[in-house]
């Protein structure tokens, strides 16, 4: 039985990861400061004898015994990471420093959940891992974009200097049950607005594109990456199926039988115009490709939010 630490374990993706690792017979330690993570996300796991919950902010050092570390701690939506941009940057940079030191002390393997935002508003399409990105270093999104880029730098430097066993994944837009209702991301926004039959807010003219990956597929890729041999990444994990934001809004309206109208607002500053992963490296090195079609994942997500709103 491996002892596995998951930072951000009470978050949207972190909670799904904890669930998956427990099913595989591991002892799992969820580490979360509950800034955006929710106790309800891991409530169903609390009585599992192999599950431990630690309330801790990874900007502070910590000392536990573990074999693997999945670093998923960091607000991931613009509303949340811009609420306290200094702390967001500290979570990415000081947080990964503390986790890398923990990995060194334990002799543990460590996986960094990086992001497609390291590519910024890309000039290359689709984005592959060799692309260095087009990132504004001093904009309102920089605390997250540059924080994640800095975290990748530290991962590589620890690997080169201390031979730390590292893995880097770059997560593209991911959705599914347990997304935060108020995180401002396009999937949760559109689904909730549609279920409430209120106007669906599209920023810009809706021609910007996104590629949405269902959470179960993403977690499968992360676990495969952690268990891979002789491959440290970075590697893109996402669904290459590309759709415009306007088409996505229309899909949500149709799937929810909503009476919502679509309204248009100004595009936020530095918002990426195109986002699509090149996943050939993940296919080659991890034998990984997403299995969920968009409509199948949306059915589960819509059902989750429908039940959530009825409980409120």
User: What span, in angstroms and rounded, lies between the C-alpha atoms of 154 and 181?
Assistant: 32
Residue 281: left if φ>0, alpha if ψ -120 to 50, beta else—which one? alpha
Q: Which residues are catalytic?
A: 144
For the stretch 3-18, what's the b/e string if a residue is b when 16 or more beta carbons lie within 10 angstroms of its beta carbon?
Answer: bbbbbbbbbbbbbbbb
Query: Do residues 6 and 72 touch, judged by C-beta distance below 8 A?
Result: yes
Positions of E strands within the chain: 3-7, 27-32, 51-55, 68-71, 109-115, 166-171, 174-175, 200-203, 209-211, 213-214, 235-237, 242-244, 262-265
Residue 100 tokens read as: 């890398």
* Torsion angle of the four alpha carbons 199, 183, 131, 129, in this order, in degrees rounded to the nearest 10: -120
User: What span, in angstroms and rounded, lies between the C-alpha atoms of 3 and 103?
Assistant: 12
């Amino acid at each position: 039985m491996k002892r596995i630490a998951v930072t951000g374990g009470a978050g949207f993706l972190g909670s799904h990861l904890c669930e998956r690792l427990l099913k595989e017979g591991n002892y799992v330690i969820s580490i979360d400061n509950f800034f955006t993570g929710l106790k309800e996300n891991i409530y169903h796991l609390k009585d599992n004898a192999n599950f431990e919950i630690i309330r801790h902010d990874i900007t502070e050092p910590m000392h536990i015994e573990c074999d693997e570390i999945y670093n998923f701690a960091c607000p991931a939506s613009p509303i949340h990471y811009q609420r306290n941009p200094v702390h967001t940057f500290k979570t990415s940079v000081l947080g990964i420093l503390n986790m890398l030191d923990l990995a060194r002390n334990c002799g543990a393997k460590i996986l960094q959940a990086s992001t497609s935002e390291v590519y910024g508003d890309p000039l290359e399409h689709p984005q592959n891992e060799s692309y260095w990105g087009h990132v504004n270093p001093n904009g309102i999104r920089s605390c997250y974009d540059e924080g994640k880029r800095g975290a990748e730098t530290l991962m590589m430097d620890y690997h080169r200097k201390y031979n730390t066993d590292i893995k880097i994944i770059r997560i593209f837009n991911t959705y599914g049950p347990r997304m935060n209702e108020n995180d401002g991301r396009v999937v949760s926004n559109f689904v909730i607005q549609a279920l409430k039959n209120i106007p669906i807010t599209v920023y810009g003219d809706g021609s910007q594109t996104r590629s949405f990956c269902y959470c179960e597929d993403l977690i499968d890729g992360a676990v495969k990456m952690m268990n891979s041999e002789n491959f440290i990444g970075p590697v893109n994990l996402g669904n290459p199926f590309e759709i415009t934001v306007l088409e996505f809004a229309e899909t949500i309206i149709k799937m929810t039988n909503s009476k919502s109208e679509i309204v248009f607002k100004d595009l936020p500053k530095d918002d990426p115009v195109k986002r699509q992963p090149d996943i050939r490296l993940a296919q080659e090195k991890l034998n990984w490709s997403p299995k969920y079609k968009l409509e199948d994942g949306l059915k589960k997500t819509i059902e989750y939010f429908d039940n959530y709103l009825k409980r409120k």
